[in-house]
């Protein structure tokens, strides 16, 4: 059932907009941190993935016998990171809080993405990689459509139902970050 990869990728991808659009604005408004400092922090934090991903790949390979438990753990890490980022006031230096929250969030995201791809290759074999990649990227593209439509709908809010025009093909949606 390759559609599962699309569905999971769609859910993972929905974390992107709150991280890259709302988090910097939130920290600028709430803690008066420079947008330049936050952008530099994001650049450095994403650079960490370059070094971290091989280790996460080895971890994903070593947890093959554990089924979906590692994916659940990665999802919990993403929820913890998102909660620390938005729901709990910064303790100490806000920029350090921002970075710590995002390291947890990005680590969970990267591990989940590596693990879901590894499970797909395990299920469909090396020859099925293209099929898995199509479904996975299709899910990522669908999340971009859904969430961008969500935020551009009249009266849209991140935690509420939007009242969209049903005749134009919009539907009431609720996005749950965690």
Q: DSSP characters for 14-33? A: TTHHIIIIIHHHHHHHHH--
On whether residue 156 sits in a domain, the answer given is yes
Q: Tell me what the mean pLDDT of segment 21-36 comes to.
A: 90
On whether residue 178 sits in a domain, the answer given is no
List, for residues 29-66, the tens digit of each pLDDT value.
Answer: 999 999 999 999 999 998 998 899 999 999 999 998 88
Q: At what angle do helices 94-124 and 69-86 cross, to 10 degrees?
A: 160
The closest of 56, 117, 104 to 76, measured between CA atoms, is 104
On whether residue 18 sits in a domain, the answer given is yes
On whether residue 28 sits in a domain, the answer given is yes
The boundaries of the domain holding residue 89 are 3-168
Looking at residue 11, its pLDDT comes to: 76
On whether residue 175 sits in a domain, the answer given is no
On whether residue 128 sits in a domain, the answer given is yes
Say what the pTM is.
0.74
Q: Are 40 and 50 in contact (CB under 8 A)?
A: no
Q: What is the mean pLDDT of the chain?
A: 77
Q: What percent of the chain has pLDDT over 70?
A: 75
Tokens of 79: 């929820």
Distance CA 124, CA 105 (A): 29
Q: Are 64 and 122 in contact (CB under 8 A)?
A: yes
List, for residues 117-163, the tens digit of each pLDDT value.
Answer: 888 778 788 777 777 777 667 666 665 556 555 555 554 444 443 34
Q: Are 91 and 97 in contact (CB under 8 A)?
A: yes
On whether residue 176 sits in a domain, the answer given is no
Q: Are 42 and 105 in contact (CB under 8 A)?
A: no
On whether residue 135 sits in a domain, the answer given is yes
Quote the number of domains for the chain.
1
Q: Tell me what the mean pLDDT of segment 62-77 comes to.
A: 90
């Amino acid at each position: 059932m390759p559609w599962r990869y699309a569905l999971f990728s769609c859910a993972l991808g929905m974390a992107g907009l709150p991280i890259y659009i709302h988090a910097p604005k939130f920290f600028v408004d709430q803690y008066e941190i420079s947008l330049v400092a936050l952008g530099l922090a994001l650049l450095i934090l994403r650079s960490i993935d370059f070094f971290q991903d091989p280790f996460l790949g080895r971890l994903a390979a070593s947890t093959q016998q554990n089924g979906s438990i590692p994916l659940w753990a990665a999802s919990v890490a993403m929820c913890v990171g998102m909660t620390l980022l938005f729901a709990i006031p910064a303790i100490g230096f806000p920029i350090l809080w921002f970075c710590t929250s995002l390291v947890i969030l990005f680590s969970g995201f990267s591990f989940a993405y590596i693990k879901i791809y590894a499970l797909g290759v395990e299920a469909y074999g090396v020859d099925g990689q293209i099929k898995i990649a199509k479904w996975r990227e299709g899910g990522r593209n669908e999340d971009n459509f859904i969430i961008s439509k969500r935020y551009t709908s009249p009266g849209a809010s991140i935690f509420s139902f939007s009242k969209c025009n049903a005749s134009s093909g919009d539907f009431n949606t609720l996005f749950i970050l965690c």
